[in-house]
Structure 1
């Protein structure tokens, strides 16, 4: 084990996936979501970072309302909900797909927004995830005749290789968590199409996304070193 952080344990096998050319697994994405929740947005009442395993479970469950007890109790009150999605077919107990993308629910517009660094690759999975989470995020949608008002695919920077989709998912989450929270706290009214105006293409260059790997790697090593020092201090008291 390299690091235990929040509810996630990072082993060497997980850590090695941060090397260039490797596809990030759900453990690394969960770690970063834990970091955003526990550190960057720890006092933010508006945002929820749902873990990949929970998203996968709900998406592949026939009756998602049966899983409400496993979800954050105030999920239906959160203004911004991040849902990392995978193209897994749901036939196994683990996430077994080959591509990550992001679905974001933004309550002020009652809408889901789809971000995919391979265009429409995960569109079917995104729509299925939206259908399963809609009655959990907006309880009135339990009435099957009501629908979420908007589902939009947002123009997303396209990855230049076959392995950086997880890095794009993490980086887009980080940017949107800040900007959407800012819109809410400043009482800025956004229309559904306004979420396309955040200039992700200019912010997420291939170089910037590649650097995210090294930043996460350094973060894990730094947290692991800090945990070791705390453990040593505790032993010598």
Structure 2
């Protein structure tokens, strides 16, 4: 019975379905799952509606990373129209087992910005756990962006102070990057979003963001 309740659908938002177990994750100090990150990316897409911006759902980013052949990848990626996007954000997970849903133990973020012609990887772990996973996604999609962009592991990424907030860092950094992109800030490698996230993505803000997402879910449930 408890398992059935955990699987109860509580919210359908765009194409994302959240379940009661997702509320439990947001209510406690737990590792975020794919659904919560996909929900928040969908919410950000609703906030930033420009066709220039693409926030890739975790399941699609995972498939891109683990796709076994180039023909399948092409069929999968081309509908995303990456060659016309100016900002693309990928959530990166270290899961390598395509038969295991909700796998992996760490989230990070890979962002492509066309004007600076760069893919930038933000990993909140001290050791850069997802560097190889992010590079795999970069190598898989760079030709589809029609950019010849370079890859950079950002050494100044905000770092988590516990073992479970990596997904929240992904949501917080994604929000800051989107806000930076639509601002009037200069768009060059010297003035990328680094100072913005250093200022905005602090351990306190990230901790508060768990409650913020939970409150957002509850407010949408009440409508």
Q: TM-score, normalising length from structure 2?
A: 0.87
Q: Distance in 1 between matches of 2:140 and 2:161?
A: 31
Provide structure 1 residue ranges, at least 5 long, that are not aligned to the other structure: 141-146, 227-237
Equivalences for residues 109-148 of structure 1 within 5 A: 109-119=116-126, 120-138=128-146, 148=149
Provide structure 2 residue ranges, at least 5 long, that are not aligned to the other structure: 1-8
Please state how far the C-alpha of 1:90 moved relative to its aligned partner. Answer: 3.1
**Any conservation in 2 of the 1:110–1:150 contact (CA below 8 Å)?**
no
Q: Could you tell me which residue of structure 1 aligns to residue 209 of structure 2?
A: 212
**Any conservation in 2 of the 1:65–1:135 contact (CA below 8 Å)?**
no
User: Are positions 1:108 and 2:132 aligned together?
Assistant: no
Q: Could you tell me which residue of structure 2 aligns to residue 203 of structure 1?
A: 200
Equivalent residue in structure 1 for 2:16, among 8, 25, 31: 8
Please state how far the C-alpha of 1:135 moved relative to its aligned partner. Answer: 1.9
User: In structure 2, the residue corresponding to 1:128 is in which secondary structure?
Assistant: helix
**Any conservation in 1 of the 2:107–2:167 contact (CA below 8 Å)?**
yes
Equivalent residue in structure 2 for 1:47, among 43, 53, 59: 53
Q: Distance in 2 between matches of 1:223 and 1:137?
A: 34
Q: Could you tell me which residue of structure 1 aligns to residue 188 of structure 2?
A: 190
User: In structure 1, the residue corresponding to 2:109 is in which secondary structure?
Assistant: strand
User: In structure 2, the residue corresponding to 1:198 is in which secondary structure?
Assistant: helix
User: Are positions 1:90 and 2:133 aligned together?
Assistant: no
**Any conservation in 2 of the 1:154–1:195 contact (CA below 8 Å)?**
no
Please state how far the C-alpha of 1:171 moved relative to its aligned partner. Answer: 0.4
Q: Distance in 2 between matches of 1:200 and 1:189?
A: 15
**Any conservation in 1 of the 2:135–2:151 contact (CA below 8 Å)?**
no
What's the RMSD between the two structures over aligned residues? 1.9
User: In structure 1, the residue corresponding to 2:111 is in which secondary structure?
Assistant: strand
Please state how far the C-alpha of 1:155 moved relative to its aligned partner. Answer: 1.1
Q: 1:2 to 1:117 in 2, by over 3 A?
A: same
User: In structure 2, the residue corresponding to 1:163 is in which secondary structure?
Assistant: coil
Q: Distance in 2 between matches of 1:197 and 1:121?
A: 20
Q: 1:172 to 1:89 in 2, by over 3 A?
A: same
Q: 1:8 to 1:189 in 2, by over 3 A?
A: closer
Please state how far the C-alpha of 1:178 moved relative to its aligned partner. Answer: 1.1
Please state how far the C-alpha of 1:137 moved relative to its aligned partner. Answer: 1.9
Q: Could you tell me which residue of structure 1 aligns to residue 25 of structure 2?
A: 17
Q: Distance in 1 between matches of 2:212 and 2:74?
A: 34
Where in structure 1 do 4 or more consecutive aligned residues deviate above 4 Å?
Answer: none
Q: 1:206 to 1:30 in 2, by over 3 A?
A: same
**Any conservation in 2 of the 1:58–1:64 contact (CA below 8 Å)?**
no
Q: TM-score, normalising length from structure 1?
A: 0.83
